[in-house]
Structure 1
Amino acid sequence: MAIAAVMILLFPLIGRVGASSFTGWMSVPGVITLEDTIIELRDVSFDDGSLMVVLLNGSTSNTFIVKLGESLTFGQTSLTYFRVLANSESLVLIKVNFSHVFPGQNVTFVDYTISVLSVDSSGAKLRVSKGNESKEFTSSDFTFGDIRVKVSAYPKIFEGYLKRGQDVSAYGHILTFSNATVENTTGGFIETVFFTYKNNTYPIEVGKEANVGVFHVKVEELVGVDYVKVVVNFIGASIDVETVPDLTFMLSPGQTQKVGPYIISYDYYFGGATVSLRNSCGEVLRSAKLSADPISALLYYGGAAVGLESIASNGTATFFAMVDETKIPSVDKVANLLISVSSDGGKQYVPMTAMVTVQNTGTVDLSNVSLKFVPEGDVEILSGEELFLQRIRPSEKKTFEVKLLPHRSGSLTLGHVEAEAVAPSELACGGYTVLNFRSNDLQVSIEPSNISYELSVEAPNQVPIYHPALIMVTVTNTGDVSVPANLTVALPQGVAVGLDDAFSSRGDIMIAPLSLLSGENVTLSLKAIPYTEGTKEFIFRIETPFGIMDSTVLNLDVTVSQGNETTATVIETTAVPSNGTVTVTETYTTTETQTFETTVTNVQTVPYTPTSAKAMWGVLGFVLGALVIIALAWYQAKKV
């Protein structure tokens, strides 16, 4: 039964040992040293990006050409080639997988050397060196200079039962359970298990543990002499090394960023990111068009290398920069303003807020800084167009708001911020110097608005001449936004009006300004008094800055009063720019008198003659004419 149980446990889960790796950018030419193996990156082709790799192992040398996307494998090591940035200096992005590093061994990447000092159950102790600087680490994750290191040490690679003659292997290293003995002594039975590693035999008593080459073996149980239960750890460190750029930053076209003593300017986006490296006076030192393709240009000047990591469809780009301090001129005075403008978007014809952030990312104070929001497209600035900063110190950040009114909807670019600052005296190139900075473009999504007004007019269809007609006008905001509007009324000739207080006049146009929220309405009134007969046409409109929203026409039929003689007089009493105040008096045979005060466009006296009066004056004229003719004939007769 014991043997049967052992047979069930004969195939335990064996933990796989994780390989070490290096991932990152390396200069060409460059060298990687993995104990006895040296990998030289000799050259790179600007045409197809092919990388020349030379492997040196003792006296053996082999040359390989590795194309982009390909891998080169040799023994327990492999090299994969991802990307190249080429210029006067070239960088390649690679990944090298290699085996564990054992105590006393070293690996070298770029300018860094990593030495494994010890490995045990508590972990690994490493020393990392660059030039004259070095530091020891016992943690599993740390950063030193431009590299980040993750360490996994002393991994368990086997736990379970081994049959005599069975092996445990890890990356070319083999541990064999070769034999076992049971010795009967006066003190009891002594069980000893024998392991073989590289032709050497190592005895370990049951219940004890010991190092066997690169393995640490703990013997827990011996079943007969053919099966042994063990726990095996690997005395090595899995080291993952990754290069970390000195800077990783995002810019939109027009923005700038300090890189070492220089300023990188993202000039524009068109099929890639065109960037320039400038000195503190704003003079262009180098420029290049960068892309995120596997083969791209590198912006390089005086120890500073800038590459493009990715770029979005709106032109926003992520850059990385690596700075070699040993190759950079000693300059510690740099001026730069990082200006960002952002907004959550808004709604058409509704005021919205844009946030502008200004940060001094340079090393000197900037004074007399003037900032101005420059609008683009159909947008109106309501407030915050300009801002003045007396001084902004290094690392200091300022935020202010700009109120905007977008007149269109959709994905829009509403503008950007431009800034001017006076350079400090130590950066003034050739005397007084003004430095210019620019923000990203404000790109937002604007929801469409519905601007709609409804106009309703109520009035009698017919009115007698000289009689007032009350006209009621109701305006309703049926849209979803509030925009300023005017109710205009075009008056016909021959009509005087009594105005509501909401109206003002401009010639023969009456105007009432309106401000209605969505769903609100207002009712205004006009008292119209016609003084000539016929059909009078009133034109009503709702006008906004965005056009006429609604209009209607009222036709008022003015009739002549039927009755006895009536005298009507329109008398001007007060003059105004476009109308006058008049008194209209009508006298009927019933002796009823009505008086109205109103405003008319043209002031005049209106005669009114009944039919009977017209007949009387006709007879009187005939008689007078006859008398004149008789008198003239008599005078001629006397003269003869």
Structure 2
Amino acid sequence: MRKVFLAVVIFLISLPQTIADSVFYGWVQIPTTITIGSTQIMLKDISGVDGSIFAVFKDDKDSNIEILPLSNYIHWEEYNLSSEYVLLINEKGYAKLKLNFPYLLEGETMRFGDYKIYLKSVTKKQAQLELSYKNITRKFTYKGGEINFENLKLSLILAPTIFDGYISRGYPKKIDEWSITFVSYNITKEDGILKEIVELKINQKTYWSEVGDVLEAEGLRIEIKDLVGSTYLRMEVELKGAYLNISLTPYFESWLSEGKTTKIGPYIVKIEKIFSDQAYVSIKNPCGMPLKSGLVKIDKFSRMLSYDGISVGFIETKEENGEKKVKTVIIIDNEKIPKIEDVAFLNVSYEVPTRATQYSTFETKVILENTGKSDLRYVEILPNVSKIFSIVNNYPRYIPTIKRGEKIELTLVLQSQAYGNLTVGNIRVLAHAPYELSCYGVGEVEFSSETKRVEILKAEPNYSIDVRTLNGTVGSPIPLNITIANLGNVDSPFDLTVALPKEFGVVAENFTIYRKWLHLRDTLKPGTSKTYKMFLISTKEGQYEVEVLVKSFGKLFQKSTTLTVTSLVKEHTENILLNQNVTCTPKVIERVVEVSKITQQNSTVTVEPVSLKWKIVYGGGFFVGGVIFILALAWIAAKLEERKE
């Protein structure tokens, strides 16, 4: 029985240990470098005669130079490289390659062209990966199936078992790049329990492990399963990595029929005619206008037809159901495709002040400078201003043409409804320029400025009101001077309202009237003042109060004065000048009231002009009383004249 067991062990030891290959299959641009861990495969050049590839293999220990013939392969260490097709584009080319390589370990990176695969961590159940293409990176948790990323397809075999069997004490076991030796063992007793400890050397580094435990070292996960006497050790070795199956396709690789078209990026490709070893192909813009046409050879090694970022090649032909077809490979280089931005560029600058005051208007400047290669037409200005700001001036929304090298400046006047460190926004501009890939030969392009911010100080409206008048007589003009001074920090409109007694008419300019209220809207800069002059005409004697109110952004400033009107005692003319200094009546009332909302009446009474450019306005039904009173004065004057005669 012992002889049978030993025979089985010897058989297991003698079995060759093979590691399944990882595979990369797809199109790569040459020259390029494929990097797997610390190994580099540099594909430096393609022969323009036979399509052979000049390759250099290199790792930490060795390097080798090889020539890879078309439809052949070369072998170096654990790597096997073959080429299937080669297509030339000017001085460069693309090759469809198959590369067999061992594996990718945890923490290692594989690079090819613009792609990168980083195996961050791996277990038997899942792996964490990062895939990158140019400046795009995405993270994946792989648990099976296939990953699709850009033109890349990827599947993995996680933590594969690379050895399961017995090794003999003192004899190194070679498993791919690892050498594992069972050196010795000892038995210890701990808490009455016997423990078997084995000594292993992995690539000349010593490790100790208990039978039944798992040892992780040198990129391997080794389960110590059993000790047979003092001679044989059974173990299972897993790779702390993965086998990769990678497929990389070009932008397009498929069969196209004669006379058919297909849209590739911004282009249309049409197979005009297929011959036995050539095909005539046209590259067109989106509206079908030919851009380039030509005959292209159908072969494993041929030259592609190229035009501004698109290249078309053919590798096989066939006839199916009486229809000729050609296997077409199309490469797109997005960086070389014409873009309207290549000929059109508008430098958009937006200048705003560092600070302004809430509710006050402030100027901002838009600067447009055409630094591109062509004139810009049908230019539309689109201010992208935050909702808390409003544009209060008119500005040109459309500019017919901005010539090459021309500079235009615009002014936008803004007003803020809030305060603090606020985002103003930016300026968007839509323009049109010549573009060969547009159906009409003109393409639309958008430009924008940087987003700007401004410090808005809190508004503090404050107005003083000075009301001056004289006592007067019935029917005589009584001067009223109202002086408003802006003592706050807000440069913005305010509403001035004068409340008159119902017995009064008024002579004033630029005011509107509704019932007994005179209304006017005006603006004063901080630190300035303005006087509003008018005449009052009373139809009845008595003592009256005139009230003046100023409203600005929710605040109401109020002041009033009283005057006495007496009957006409004797006939005389009193000269009153609007600009003379007059004395207020003794009673002056002033107060400031906070209000949340003031409703403005919209009714306006039009006043006909009279002599001295005065406008005589009477409120409500007292207009009629005023007329009767004046007619009565005229009648009395006529009677007095008759008595004198």
TM-score between the two structures when normalised by the length of structure 1: 0.49
